[in-house]
A and B are shown apart, each in its own frame.
Chain A
């Protein structure tokens, strides 16, 4: 049983490894840009996976963490003239703080399930409106970094260097995910997802574990925000805090397999590759890719409720014959 899961992990790891090397050997510059996109969304997906996948806290507003960090690093560089590396590091802390704050506030009042989802969505919307209202955040126009393609500015001379940078970030996020999966902290998160009352009875401070998870997830989503800004040198309220970004964060893990290590990356890769292929072949209307995402999501949820990684998961008797729950 366990062997089959292991085989699945190896197959997917090899597949993802090969895909990660493609830009170095095969792909054109345009496709490398596309690959950078996928990596940034993978980072965001891995961040969501910590709270949503392991901990079962369904956030519909992970953009708030992504956007806060993107805005933080942009503002620190533009208004205070901070070095990009330093600004990026501070921005991660901002993402972590925002995550911890939203978590502490929601869990203090015992919000779970759809209530938690709505609160996170509301936070993202409030931040979106605020970001588009003040001059310090660039109002409706957003913030643009001045071009300075040097490593000292955390900007890259070539697309491939940029790709390498984001790839390293993804590998670090992956290492963190594996570490969480193998730790007591990860086991506690999964216990909370499965049954929070039982977790409390066994001595787990569920509030603390959940807030910690939100903090870690905030820092990871913040990394995606910083990577986005340093790649595109631009952020506005729609990109930073829009619902599209929030959905990007949760679609990858749900399609790939929430609560698995490789699922979020696999999901992001499959989703965007299919989306891009569809767009190239159909051409056409903006937003069509979102329609396409919806269709993919429906098909996955119908046939693979555990996501793509679920293919390798042994089915227990109870799952094959679902009980009313």
Chain B
């Protein structure tokens, strides 16, 4: 469904994303993981059209969408969320979500009605008329998700929707994401909460210092020495193995 090939992005002398490729098959939940500063969000911004890659291509449903405008990509069915939440602060939760549902509903009343339905499916019914700026972190993260869902995406790009949540909130949001996938939405997610990655995704890519270093099931990846070294530093895999042997 989504194919990223040889994507590269430089900021001055820094190569944020270096010749990265990945594939997302329809109907799957694919995770993109990696240490801080690996370039995961930069990769997302290029897929969603917010930044143009220096080289490489992004193909969605066999169409080249490289360098297209963000709104055009969203209209094709690819919607992203923001790691740093971006609510329409002065608007109510209902109005926030309605901006998303307007994509398929020209009429105000229809968009507002659809917003209520989306909110209810994410357990936000009680917050509908509260200003977005009054929400807690968890509420704002959920609002990001609700707004994106309201655009009826076929492919959802989730940028750390679980960061900053307490464990009980994470447990609440995991089944929601699974439910979204079961309704026919393909999901590519960036996540640091490994508990979520392990239980949600069938497949994960690991990005470190801009390069795609590994790909496999999450279970394979946590045992992969290259991945462990990327997270914990050079030689970490050896030391861990030694400790295991001693214990």
Q: Which residues of chain A have a CB within 8 Å of any CB of chain B?
A: 1-2, 182-184, 187-188, 190-191, 194-195, 197-206, 316-319
Contact A198-B111, Cβ < 8 Å, known A203-B74, A203-B103: no
Check if A206 sits within 8 Å of B71, measured CB to CB: yes
B 93-148 contacts with A by CB, 8 A:
95, 98-100, 102-103, 105-108, 111, 129, 131, 133-134, 147-148
Chain B residue with Cβ nearest A204:
B71
CB distance from A5 to the nearest CB of B (A): 12
CB distance from A244 to the nearest CB of B (A): 31
Partner of B87, one of A1, A188, A195: A195
CB distance from B241 to the nearest CB of A (A): 43
Check if A198 sits within 8 Å of B86, measured CB to CB: yes
Partner of A183, one of B48, B89, B108: B108
Instruction: Tell me the complex Cα distance, A206–B72, Å.
Output: 11
Chain B residue with Cβ nearest A208:
B71
Q: Which residues of chain B have a CB within 8 Å of any CB of chain A?
A: 48, 50, 69-72, 74-75, 79-82, 86-91, 95, 98-100, 102-103, 105-108, 111, 129, 131, 133-134, 147-148, 150-151
Partner of B79, one of A199, A201, A317: A201
Check if A203 sits within 8 Å of B108, measured CB to CB: no
- Chain A residue numbers with a CB within 8 Å of B70 are 200-201
- Chain A residue numbers with a CB within 8 Å of B48 are 201
Contact A201-B82, Cβ < 8 Å, known A194-B90, A195-B89: yes
- Point out which of A197, A200, A201, A316 has the most chain B C-beta atoms below 10 A from its C-beta: A201
- Chain A residue numbers with a CB within 8 Å of B86 are 195, 197-198, 201
Check if A184 sits within 8 Å of B102, measured CB to CB: yes
- Chain B residue numbers with a CB within 8 Å of A317 are 134
- Chain A residue numbers with a CB within 8 Å of B134 are 316-318
Given contact pairs A194-B89, A200-B50, A316-B131, enumerate 11 new A-B contacts (beta carbons under 8 Å).
A184-B105, A184-B107, A188-B99, A191-B88, A194-B91, A198-B86, A198-B87, A200-B69, A202-B74, A203-B75, A204-B71
- Chain B residue numbers with a CB within 8 Å of A316 are 131, 133-134
Check if B88 sits within 8 Å of A203, measured CB to CB: no
- 11 residue pairs of the A-B complex, CB under 8 angstroms, read A183-B108, A187-B108, A188-B99, A190-B88, A191-B91, A191-B99, A200-B70, A200-B71, A201-B86, A205-B69, A205-B71
- Chain A residue numbers with a CB within 8 Å of B102 are 184, 187-188
CB distance from A133 to the nearest CB of B (A): 40
Check if B74 sits within 8 Å of A201, measured CB to CB: yes
CB distance from B73 to the nearest CB of A (A): 8
- Chain A residue numbers with a CB within 8 Å of B151 are 202-203
Partner of A318, one of B69, B88, B131: B131
Instruction: Tell me the complex Cα distance, A276–B175, Å.
Output: 65
Instruction: Tell me the complex Cα distance, A184–B111, Å.
Output: 9
- Point out which of A1, A202, A317 has the most chain B C-beta atoms below 10 A from its C-beta: A202
- Point out which of B69, B81, B108, B151 has the most chain A C-beta atoms below 10 A from its C-beta: B108
Instruction: Tell me the complex Cα distance, A239–B100, Å.
Output: 43
Check if A202 sits within 8 Å of B69, measured CB to CB: no
Check if A1 sits within 8 Å of B79, measured CB to CB: no
CB distance from B114 to the nearest CB of A (A): 12
- Chain B residue numbers with a CB within 8 Å of A202 are 74, 79, 99-100, 103, 147-148, 150-151
- Point out which of B81, B82, B99, B131 has the most chain A C-beta atoms below 10 A from its C-beta: B99
- Chain B residue numbers with a CB within 8 Å of A198 are 82, 86-88, 147
Check if B106 sits within 8 Å of A184, measured CB to CB: yes
Instruction: Tell me the complex Cα distance, A96–B139, Å.
Output: 42
Of all A-B residue pairs in the complex, the 9 with the closest CB atoms, nearest first, are A203-B74, A194-B88, A198-B86, A318-B133, A200-B70, A316-B131, A203-B103, A191-B99, A205-B71
Instruction: Tell me the complex Cα distance, A1–B128, Å.
Output: 13
Check if A182 sits within 8 Å of B108, measured CB to CB: yes
- Chain B residue numbers with a CB within 8 Å of A184 are 102, 105-108, 111
CB distance from B59 to the nearest CB of A (A): 20
CB distance from A320 to the nearest CB of B (A): 10
- Point out which of B48, B105, B131 has the most chain A C-beta atoms below 10 A from its C-beta: B131
- Chain A residue numbers with a CB within 8 Å of B111 are 184, 187
Check if B74 sits within 8 Å of A190, measured CB to CB: no
CB distance from A181 to the nearest CB of B (A): 9
Instruction: Tell me the complex Cα distance, A316–B93, Å.
Output: 13
Contact A197-B74, Cβ < 8 Å, known A187-B98, A316-B134: no
Instruction: Tell me the complex Cα distance, A69–B147, Å.
Output: 41
Chain B residue with Cβ nearest A318:
B133
CB distance from A159 to the nearest CB of B (A): 40
- Point out which of B81, B88, B103 has the most chain A C-beta atoms below 10 A from its C-beta: B88
Instruction: Tell me the complex Cα distance, A191–B97, Å.
Output: 11
- Chain A residue numbers with a CB within 8 Å of B75 are 203
- Chain A residue numbers with a CB within 8 Å of B88 are 190-191, 194-195, 198
- Point out which of A2, A184, A190, A198 has the most chain B C-beta atoms below 10 A from its C-beta: A198
CB distance from A105 to the nearest CB of B (A): 18
Instruction: Tell me the complex Cα distance, A197–B44, Å.
Output: 14
